[in-house]
């Protein structure tokens, strides 16, 4: 299964030591999961991850240092399927903050987008046959 993580899922994974978001991130980083589990990431989305996770309020909430975040991002970079944005699809119909996630999923031929903003992304992703689910639903899908 190829997955695209919305930035909010990565934030939750960093801030909470438990929960579906952290478990998905751990599976991706350790390359575990039923079947082939991979994460698709475009350069633009990766830079968004970095910018958001390095905000001082995010670091404080996660009790993390910039080095901790760099370690996670370096791990993601090692295992990620790089996605070039060959097709610019904006506007996709997704919320403006989620356009990049949809573009990455379409160009990366993702099976699912994990997000807490399902309603902002779902109709846009559905046009391309991409499922949009909360992290807990994605985790159930991985385990099945």
The pLDDT value given to residue 20: 97
Q: What is the pLDDT of the chain when averaged over all its residues?
A: 90
The pLDDT value given to residue 34: 46
Distance (Å, whole) CA 100 – CA 73: 18
Strand partners, 2: 38
The pLDDT value given to residue 31: 79
pLDDT at 21 over 50: yes
The continuous run of DSSP H or E covering 14 comes out as: helix 7-15
What CATH number belongs to 2-143?
3.40.50.1010
The pLDDT value given to residue 124: 87
pTM over 0.85: yes
Q: ∠ CA(21), CA(26), CA(30), 5° rounding? A: 155
The pLDDT value given to residue 93: 52
Distance (Å, whole) CA 3 – CA 121: 14
Residues 111-138, mean pLDDT to the nearest whole number: 94
Q: Where are the domains of the chain?
A: 2-143
What share of the chain in percent tops pLDDT 90? 75
Distance (Å, whole) CA 3 – CA 69: 20
């Amino acid at each position: 299964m190829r997955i695209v993580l919305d930035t909010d899922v990565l934030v939750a994974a960093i801030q909470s030591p438990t929960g579906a978001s952290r478990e998905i991130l751990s599976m991706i980083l350790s390359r575990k999961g039923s079947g082939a589990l991979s994460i698709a990431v475009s350069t633009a989305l990766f830079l968004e991850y970095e910018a958001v996770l390095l905000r001082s309020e995010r670091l404080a909430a996660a009790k993390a240092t910039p080095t901790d975040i760099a370690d996670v991002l370096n791990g993601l970079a090692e295992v990620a399927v790089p996605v070039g944005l060959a097709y610019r699809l904006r506007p996709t119909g997704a919320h403006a903050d989620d356009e990049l996630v949809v573009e990455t999923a379409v160009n990366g031929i993702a099976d699912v987008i994990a997000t807490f903003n399902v309603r902002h992304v779902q109709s846009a992703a559905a046009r391309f046959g991409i499922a949009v689910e909360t992290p807990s639903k994605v985790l159930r899908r991985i385990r099945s």
